[in-house]
Amino acid sequence: MKIVINQSRIEMIRVLRNPYYLFWSLAMPIVFYIVFTKIFDVETADKEVWAAHYLMSMTVFSVMGSSIMTMGIRLVEERSQGWTRYMRVTPLSDFQYFSAKMFGQTVVHVCSIVVIFTAGILFNGVRLSIFEWLFSASWILLASLPFLAIGSLVGTMKRVDTAIGISNVLYLLLAVTGGLWMPIDVLPKVMQNISMWLPAYHFGNGAWEIVRGQLPELQNILILVGYLVVFMVLSMYIRRKQDVV
């Protein structure tokens, strides 16, 4: 257990020192939040509701990016540098290695949530009940699992530059089609229909429902669980094929 804790601590330090994390998962969501709630005059009936809604969008955006890009790219870098081969001669098993990564990444997500929630309070005076703050944070943590699975799948790529390019495009496409940058209602009808089957929309919608005083919809949960299973199975299959080769 001690070796897993130590590895998790190392993973957290590495992520917090990563410029990709600092830019995509902290700086960019906070800048977007300020721009679309303080600078641009978004037409909405209730500014307070919009401030809370968009705060959830940017927190989801942050955690999704950290899951896909930070973790995925780091896995590719470690394999290309021979680090994963070296780890196999240590007492740390593959299961412990990936568990430490997942745990370390989850703690980093907690830091992201706290920082962005604090930005919402400071810049817009967002007020939610203690239950809503804790429930929305818990939802964002749990619902990020499918995106950690996507990050693990990105981590099976052989080249770092390929992983960076694909993860960037995937991340931004999911953010736009998921309604995280702008309300999904402004998208073309075809895009709206596609979005209803993509994980980013259901990730965000669960948090939006919570700040509206509701529970995440059953469809949100089922679709996210489905994506989690699919991406985990694909990642495990590809890794086993790579190990054989």
Question: Which domain covers residue 187, as residue numbers?
Answer: 2-244
Check residue 14 and give its pLDDT: 73
Residue 144 corresponds to which amino acid?
Answer: S
DSSP, residue by residue, 94-154: HHHHHHHHHHHHHHHHHHHHHHHHHHHHHHH-----HHHHHHHHHHHHHHTHHHHHHHHHH
Integer angstrom CA distances of residue 146 from 5, 27, 28, 55, 136? 23, 23, 22, 21, 17
Check residue 1 and give its pLDDT: 67
> What domain count does the chain have?
1
Of the candidates 224, 59, 43, 45, the residue with the CA atom closest to the CA atom of residue 128 = 59
**Residue-wise pLDDT tens for the chain (245 aa)?**
676 777 677 777 777 777 766 777 788 999 999 998 988 867 776 888 999 999 999 999 999 998 998 888 888 887 777 766 776 667 767 777 777 778 888 888 999 999 999 999 999 999 999 999 999 999 999 999 999 999 999 988 988 889 989 999 999 999 999 999 988 888 889 999 999 999 999 999 999 999 999 999 999 999 999 999 999 999 888 888 877 65
Check residue 73 and give its pLDDT: 85
Check residue 231 and give its pLDDT: 95
